[in-house]
Amino acid sequence: MNSVNNEGVSLWKESHLQATYPQIVEDLEVDTVVVGAGITGLTVAYMLKRSGQKVAVLDKSTVGGGTTARTTGKVTSQHNLVYKDLQDRLGNKIAQVYADANQTAVETVASIIKREKISCEWEIDDNYVYTTDSTKVEEFKTEADVAASLGLPSTYETTSPLPFAIEAAIKFTGQGKMHSQKYLLGLAAAVNGDGSFVFEESGVIGIHDGDPGKVRTRKASVTAKSIVVATSVPTMPLVARGAYCILEYPKESYIVAGTPEKVIKGMYISPDKDNYSILPIAVNGSPTLLIGGKGHISGLRISKDTRYTTLSEYAAKHFGMNQVTHRWSDRDYIAYDGIPLAGKLYPWSKNLYVGSAYRKWGLSNGTAAAMIIHDLIIGIENPWASTYDPIRLDPIKSIPHVAKSYISKK
Ligand SMILES: Cc1cc2nc3c(=O)[nH]c(=O)nc-3n(C[C@H](O)[C@H](O)[C@H](O)COP(=O)(O)OP(=O)(O)OC[C@H]3O[C@@H](n4cnc5c(N)ncnc54)[C@H](O)[C@@H]3O)c2cc1C
């Protein structure tokens, strides 16, 4: 294997130039200030602006400075094997909300791309969960049925376009894939202007939750009726991170990318060992392949090289991807019950909102969270809000779940 040109740099960041938005240097007053220019922050800002608000988005680095520009790029309501598990643990009503929120989010991303004419390699495609393990066949049949019963576009399959034999698959039709950084730049362009703003290099160092509230950077402050913390995980010094550390835990994932010899349709993920995630996508017209997987709980002393090597060998063996051009890793957060957090940050928050814990599916879950936060701010009833409400979580009940994840290292 030749050396990697872009060590640690995501394909999405490297293959597209940054927009340059100014740093905030003067105090400002808007209706809502959003901290963080990832998919959550920019989507909620975009939606609020369309509802007539003046908004400001502040990022400590750049648009796409966080995890969104380091994703695989799948926009789907199929999150590996999730629906039977949610139904069993949390009941049919919550499984239904999760299905509705994510499928609506997929359609929302598609409609934003169309409305704003965002050029981001968007393509509608089928998404598959597959297994090569014959002992999982019954589990797959059940998951396909549960997902279909929730109204999702789910069918059980025994074949797929993959270049190797599988035992079973679940296909969701009409899902999407995209260049996540180009999508964010399109959203930012739609947010900025007409009394609304995007600021880069404008890290927020303090938040006052009041009526109105205020966020502070080193050079200026923004006063606003509502504040949205969209920083992936709410961190110090913005909020007392301690509370959220108990409620959600981080997982690291790895991706290698390059040019494949074998080009296939579809997007894939597997619950089998190594959790391979496969995304074929045309980037600037060139066939490109991303292979992700080898995830684990963050903070462990684990050799990244070994993980990249496993993914690279898999890509070479099955897809003829003999040169890895980019490889990177990043983390995402998971709430202890597996449902994202979107709503008031704390039970006592006045006008302070959060979106977090997307269980590595933030392109859909983050969009759904943005829709919930938008509705709460505008005062519209949202059918998913109580299910995603962070206030549902009990820190004491959370401890054994989070601890178990650290012990199992997965
Ligand atoms: C390897 C990998 C692959 C993934 N693949 C997929 C996928 O295919 N599909 C999918 O749906 N999901 C995927 N995910 C999950 C998804 O990427 C995340 O859930 C989502 O991007 C989180 O978005 P966000 O807006 O919450 O956070 P981010 O995108 O991280 O944005 C947060 C922003 O906040 C800014 N910020 C932080 N602190 C401050 C501060 N104090 N002041 C100002 N700004 C601040 C950061 O600079 C950053 O730009 C993947 C995750 C990983 C790790």
Tell which one of 249, 332, 356 to mutate to probe ligand 1, the residue whose CB is within 8 A of the most ligand atoms: 332
The ranges assigned to domains in the chain are 6-408
Q: Whose CA is nearest to atom 31 of ligand 1?
A: 38
Q: Which atom of ligand 1 is nearest to the CA of 238?
A: 41
pTM over 0.85: yes
Of 392, 371, 378, residue with least CA distance to 101? 371
CB 70 within 8 A of CB 13: yes
- Cα–ligand 1 centroid distance for 41 (angstroms): 10
> Any idea which fold 6-408 has?
FAD/NAD(P)-binding domain (3.50.50)
- Cα–ligand 1 centroid distance for 63 (angstroms): 11
Burial-class residue 3 by CB neighbours within 10 Å (0-12, 13-18, 19+). exposed
Q: Whose CA is nearest to atom 35 of ligand 1?
A: 36
- Cα–ligand 1 centroid distance for 364 (angstroms): 12
Q: Which atom of ligand 1 is nearest to the CA of 279?
A: 8
Q: Which two tokens stand for residue 61?
A: 């680095």
Q: Could you count the other beta carbons within 10 Å of the beta carbon of residue 100?
A: 18
List, in sequence order, every residue forming a beta bridge with 287; answer none if it has no partner: 282
- Cα–ligand 1 centroid distance for 359 (angstroms): 11
pLDDT tens for the chain, 410 residues: list them. Answer: 445 767 788 989 876 667 689 999 999 999 999 999 999 999 999 999 999 999 999 999 999 999 999 999 999 999 999 999 999 999 999 999 999 999 999 999 999 999 999 999 999 999 999 999 999 999 999 999 999 999 999 999 999 999 999 999 999 999 999 999 999 999 999 999 999 999 999 999 999 999 999 999 999 999 999 999 999 988 766 665 556 767 888 888 999 999 999 999 999 999 999 899 999 999 989 999 999 997 777 666 677 889 999 999 999 999 999 999 999 999 888 898 999 999 999 888 999 999 999 999 999 999 999 999 999 999 999 999 999 999 887 766 666 666 666 666 56
- Cα–ligand 1 centroid distance for 39 (angstroms): 7
